[in-house]
Structure 1
Amino acid sequence: MTQSTENSAEQETLNAAPFAFKPYENDHQSLQIGELVFENQTDRVIAYGDIEITKNEQGLSEALKLQQLFNLIVAELQSAKQAGNFTQDSNKQGLLDNQDSFSKEVDNPFS
């Protein structure tokens, strides 16, 4: 494959149709790239799993998909910031901190 053919194949991948996944639009979409799963929520995008980006065609394809997804996420966040539409921080960490104040130590029943 020549350099110009490789560049045009890469460009085709970059110009591929956008994902059906629309970040922050609903609570029912998910997208999987490799073993990495992205779940959509209206106030967050949750990612879990893992991915191996190998130095071959599959690795390039997965990296370009990740790039496209993150570009969509960043664009939506920038748009929300400009419009003043950031959601309130509903960080679950804060909820766990509040629960700690209601917890108590118990004896280990196995000792």
Structure 2
Amino acid sequence: MIEPFANNHQSMQIGELVIENQEDKIIIYGDLDLTLDASGYEQAQQLHALTAKIIQAFEVNDTYSKNDSKSKENDDQLGKDIDNPFL
């Protein structure tokens, strides 16, 4: 289990769902099929535990309510238009 917002090098996987940890954001991508069986139940528990830890990190750190540091500033896509290299 990752420690949300603690570092820039942790990641984990639940099914085909990938969760990447960074100091200013959590990146989640992929697919997760929660089937109504023991495997689906285990994956649902992992997802629930992860989201609970993420919510707890927000609750103990009020940085998210300030607009001083936005994750978008550290994003690869800053909303700038770039020329299409394939044209």
TM > 0.5 fold call = yes
Runs ≥4 residues deviating over 3 A: none
Secondary structure in 2 matching 1:65: helix
Distance 1:31 1:104, change over 3 A: closer
Larger Rg: 1
Give the aligned CA root-mean-square deviation in angstroms: 2.3
In the superposition, the TM-score normalised over structure 1's length comes to 0.64
Count of aligned pairs between the two proteins: 81
Instruction: Pick the aligned partner of 2:21 from 14, 21, 40.
Output: 40
More contact order relative to length (CA 8 Å, sep ≥ 6): 2
Question: CA separation in 2, counterparts of 1:78 and 1:93?
Answer: 27
Equivalent AA in structure 2 for residue 37 of structure 1 = V
Residue 70 of structure 1 aligns with which residue? 51
- Could you list the runs of 5+ residues in structure 1 that have no partner in the other structure? 1-18
1:31-110 → structure 2 map (5 Å cutoff): 31-81=12-62, 85-86=63-64, 88-91=69-72, 92=75, 95-96=78-79, 99-100=80-81, 103=82
The question of 1:28 aligning with 2:9 is answered yes
Paired residues of 2:20 and 2:28 also in contact (CA < 8 A): yes
CA drift at 1:95:
1.4
Distance 1:55 1:42, change over 3 A: same
Question: CA separation in 1, counterparts of 2:37 and 2:48?
Answer: 16
- Could you list the runs of 5+ residues in structure 2 that have no partner in the other structure? none
Paired residues of 2:25 and 2:71 also in contact (CA < 8 A): no
Equivalent AA in structure 2 for residue 67 of structure 1 = H
CA drift at 1:90:
3.1
Which protein has the bigger helix share? 1
Identity, % of aligned positions: 35
